[in-house]
Every structure is written in C-alpha cells, then in structure tokens.
Amino acid sequence: MSRPLEGKLAIITGSSRGIGAAIAENLASKGCNIALNYTSPSSTSIANDLAAQLTSSHNIKVVPIQADIGSPEGPAKLVQDVKSAFSSSDNTFQIDIIINNAGIAQNALLSDVTIPQFEATYRVNVLGPLLLVQAAQPYLPKDRSGRIVNISSVSSSTGFVTQSVYGGTKAALEAMTRTWSRELAQNATVNAVNPGPVEGPMYASNAEVFLEGIEGWIKHTPLMKAQAGDVKDESLPDGTRAARTGEIAGVVGMLCGTEAGWITGQVVCANGGMVMLQ
C-alpha cells in the first residue's frame, strides 16, 4: 500500500536528536525522503546513525547534512547541499516539506540579558528560518502541495520569567508564519506548532526561577497529569509529565499530510492544553 508521503523530500533542521529526530522518524515512516540537518561536528555520528536507521527501517533516502542555520551562509549552503544530494537523474529537484525545528534558548533575567545572547538567539531562531525558506523558495511546489512547519513554543505568548529573548524569537517566528502563508500560498501551506514542556535536556536545563514560575501552568494543563507508568521527570512537579517528542512529531506529521491542505497561517497548540488555560 502506498504511503502518504511516498517520494516526497523534507528538510528538517536540528534533526539529529530530540523533537527533530522524532519528526524525521514520523515523516520517514510515511515514505518521505529526509535531509537531516545538524549544526555541530559533535553531532555527526548521531546524525549518521539516525540516517542509517531510518534508511534501513523505511526504505527511503536519508542524507545527513551539516550546516549552521544561525550563520548568514548556512541556510543557502544547506539548500545547495540538499539539491546536490537529491536531484534526480534528469536534474529535476523539488523541496516538498520544510521543518524549521532548530532553535536555541539562552534564558536570562532582563537585567542579565547581553547583546551576544540576543543576537545569537535571533540568528538561529528567526533569521535562520527566514533565510532557509528564502533559499528554498525557487524549489517549492507550484501546486500548493508543499508544507512548511515552524516549531514555535508556548513562550511566544505566556511571558515566562527569563524568556524576554527566547519568547520574542518564537513570537517573531509565528508572525513570519502568518506572512509566509500569504506570500507562499501558491506553493505551500505554512503553519507553526507551539509545544509546552517536552522531554529532554533542553527543558531540564532551565533555571530554577523559570521552573518555579511555570509550575502552576503545568499543574493546570489537562494532558500533563501523569498516568500510571509515566516516568518521573525531576524538573517537573510531582504528578505531572512532559510531552513525548513523538507526540509533537505526530502533530507535525499531521500538518504535512494531504488532509491538512486547507490549514495555513495557523499556530497549532501542541501543548496539552496549556495555552487554552492561560
């Protein structure tokens, strides 16, 4: 039986681990070929292993590509490397799906924010996605079948302590999502997904003042109530759990399907109900 994304090509930034790797697994299981982007040479081995596993499990083409999304030349280099790796024998090339997942957080109280922190975070979280979509635009479909999904965060609208910069970058990403949904309407749908706390080291690395501030939100988020068998996360209040990376990937995968072709310019709240209750 044909898989829903059979033969399509996706670029997923920051996809050697965490949410990005889970998205790669989701799309690969649906027949999608994957360009696995990662930034640091230290991630080369992890990216290669993931590529080999996805290729073997799903009989697709997966190519790991190192490129720094936060550098001025990184996104264009990524697109050119993807074109070199995936162009067909007759030199045709199309990018069907872009997942802007790469992101960094250098959280600090207002009094402690530095210009280097601000610039680095905006380069990766805002400028990087813009330059990537700009470089990919000539290769997008012309029939609205393309899909662009930007990974945002509840921090775009919740005002958590220490997130002046990070929250601002995610609000900017959501604003670009709405603009691109109009400018690219003949090529692709463009949506954002805004998770709350997700399993993994990024959330656990937050400062105590942040964890204390978000505690009330977590306790009143419907789907974050732990069930029997859930693994205890020491960075979360007792009786609660974070989202699984696969749960976030499932929402992204849904937006990449044919059935989601009438959804664009939207921010999909994949956060267990957290924003709903603010």
Q: Any idea which residues carry the catalytic annotation? A: 152-153, 166, 170
Q: Which residue has the tokens 């997966």?
A: 62
d(CA 15, CA 24): 7
Pairing of strands 9-12, 62-66: unpaired
Rounded Cα gap, residues 96 and 92, in angstroms: 13
Distance CA(270)–CA(252), nearest Å, equals 9
CA distance 79 to 100: 13
> 249: which 2 tokens?
């990937």
Other CB atoms within 10 Å distance of the CB of residue 109:
13
- Whole-angstrom Cα Rg for the chain: 18
Please name the residue that has the structure tokens 């280099």.
77
204 vs 8: CA distance, rounded Å = 35
Residue with tokens 């732990």, as numbered in its chain: 226
Q: Can you state the percent helix, strand and coil of the chain, rounding each to 5?
A: 45, 15, 40
Cα–Cα distance, 203 to 222 (Å, whole number) = 19
In the three-class reduction of DSSP (H, G, I as helix; E, B as strand; rest coil), residue 189 is classed as strand
Q: Give yes or no for a contact between 209 and 109, defined as CB atoms under 8 angstroms apart.
A: yes
